[in-house]
A and B are shown apart, each in its own frame.
Chain A
């Protein structure tokens, strides 16, 4: 296998994309404007605001795909910006980047978003806050597009926080149930903690380079800026901690499974295109920082280890979950682990290619899960079973999604996962060292686990006997059509990048002015691909052996009780308990009490003192200055005017001839005055 830093000379033949790129600022702006449209006019529209949300996603999808097609024929790299404010030498800019990386994200957000928004029309039908839901949902997509289109770190942070806000609103959408509010708070707070890392990284790098623009920072890296080299490790690490929060890497992953409290379309979009991809996107956007010698290359080892831990540990938890959405949530964590591991192995293309394919099949799997939940009115797989006859389309598409996720040839996941494995394998021989070799083993084991838990989910949901109480039925067409669309994409998306045969995706992503310096496979590594496929098939076989069974033993076998491992997995490695005891309780207990005491006695005392002084001063002002000074002057002026009026009113006698006399005398006086004074 030959690995090359190919297309590094790609910068030479990039176009500026013409009008399509210059008007790309519309991509984040249209959803955000339409969001306000939904907020203010949504309830009066015939479809309660859904049509505006759908129009926004349709616009983004069409625009994104048009850019993708244009980028595929000849690479686009364009950057536009508008100055918003100037503080000293620092310029605050709003801008939009149109290059290979952001175009790929526009297309993914648009296409997956379009499918999810269409589906949500059916899924959310009859919801009490239907219009509000679509307003927040549109904001969610718009915020992600703000993040993706950012040409500088400041705008990225704005998008980053807007995504966090929108996800908070959507996770806690069913706020009547307190648990959902808690889940929303958890997602928000865990993200906030990791965001501190992001802010530190942004400040370190931005201040050192003297500019927050990606192009300036990446140029400084290309020039070997020595000041940046000194802080690159800490800056890169801090940025990566921010990315770990949004992309839910171990140990910040705890918010993501709880985020399942939101409506299923939210989970689908959150896991596929918006939110969790943001961290991987950030690493991809800043990739040369981690890849160039002398800068934050050491962070890559941390990335690889964190990714490997995440992909393995969370994959195991997925095995013991009963809630179908939680299985998928842990699966997302595991796949995000793959992406981060790939980034850590220096494989920019492989990591983002997995993001690309994962967006389609994970979006699909969540929508299928939503369709099932819609039918059986329960999230638990113990209430499902045997649904393949009642819900044929959901079953077929779920199967495609599962096989794609498990990495079965020739579906999308096979190609991207194989490329990740190939990259880690390459890295183990080129600087990654022992860590990369171990991580390669973990990643292959992860492929087995992935196939294993997806087999379990498929069998428990669609095979065996139905155990629930509702009457399952296939979902309406507005929900099944998006499933079919995403199913087709899950099947074929992998063909966008076949090493040695068709390297379209590699070239799309390489359309950036800077050299990424990543490596990717020049041809298929048949041995590694064979191992990956064999391991996945083994996982499916093991899953079939364990869970494809007759109705009687179905329940008994699912418990899967390995003495020590099961309780550890069921309790999610006790991480939530650890956080609750070590972080939440101290804050809720002594710190909160102390803060409350300080608030009541110190801060309130100061505020009350200010209040008392103000009251005293106002009394003086009122009685002394206002009543005796100002009012007196006004009263005097008023009564003087009144008396003057009384005095002169008698001149209005009503005698016309008196007036005429006055007129004549006046005229004479004017003439005399004129004669005297000229």
Chain B
């Protein structure tokens, strides 16, 4: 079995995710981009898990953990975004500079 095609796919997805996180202004889209990065990682995990023929299928199991944590993270992230939107009527990441010096 060849893993190259999976790795390329994962790298593409990860790069798109990075791009999204760094460039998009809307907080929801930033969260979505993070999900893309996590998906890329999951693809890698599953691909290597299959490739190495691990008896415990730890790659696949670990991917499931990541999906679970990602779900929780999105839940909290979206809750924060909604609260910020209610307070400032904007979900624009550029305007969230309350933490600066």
Contact = CB atoms under 8 A, between A and B. Distances in A.
B73 to A, nearest CB: 15
Which 6 A-B pairs have CB atoms at the shortest separation, nearest pair first? A654-B100, A654-B97, A654-B99, A649-B101, A652-B101, A653-B100
A674 interface: no
Contacts of A653: 97, 100-101
A649 B96 CA distance: 18
Which of A649, A653, A655 has most chain B Cβ within 10 Å? A655
B55 interface: no
Contacts of A660: 21-22
A49 to B, nearest CB: 66
Interface of B: 18, 21-23, 30, 93-94, 96-101
A664 interface: yes
A663 to B, nearest CB: 9
Given A652-B99, A655-B93, A657-B93, 4 more contacts: A654-B97, A654-B98, A655-B94, A657-B22
Measured as residues with beta carbon below 8 angstroms from the partner, the interface class of chain A is: 10 to 19
Contacts of A655: 93-94, 97, 100
Contacts of A634: none
B97 A650 contact: no
19 contacts: A649-B101, A650-B101, A652-B100, A652-B101, A653-B100, A653-B101, A654-B99, A655-B97, A655-B100, A656-B93, A656-B96, A657-B21, A657-B22, A660-B21, A660-B22, A661-B22, A664-B18, A664-B21, A664-B22
Contacts of B101: 649-650, 652-654
A650 B100 CA distance: 8
Contacts of A657: 21-23, 30, 93-94
A636 to B, nearest CB: 25
Interface in A622-678: 649-650, 652-657, 660-661, 664
Nearest to A660: B21
B98 to A, nearest CB: 6
Which of B18, B22, B101 has most chain A Cβ within 10 Å? B101
Contacts, number: 32
A664 B37 CA distance: 12
A267 to B, nearest CB: 85
Nearest to A661: B22
A290 B100 CA distance: 96
A644 to B, nearest CB: 14
Contacts of A656: 93, 96
A653 B93 CA distance: 13
Nearest to A656: B93
A661 B94 CA distance: 14
Contacts of B23: 657
Nearest to A651: B101
A516 to B, nearest CB: 91
Contacts of A650: 101
A16 to B, nearest CB: 74
A236 to B, nearest CB: 91
Nearest to B25: A657
Nearest to A658: B22
A435 B25 CA distance: 124
Interface string A302-318: 00000000000000000
A649 B23 CA distance: 24
A344 to B, nearest CB: 98
Nearest to B24: A657
Contacts of B94: 655, 657
Nearest to A664: B18
Contacts of B21: 657, 660, 664
Nearest to A646: B101
A654 B100 CA distance: 4
Which of A649, A657, A664 has most chain B Cβ within 10 Å? A657
Contacts of B96: 654, 656
Contacts of A654: 96-101
A246 B9 CA distance: 107
A650 B97 CA distance: 13
A436 to B, nearest CB: 107
Interface in A13-58: none
Contacts of B30: 657
B69 to A, nearest CB: 18
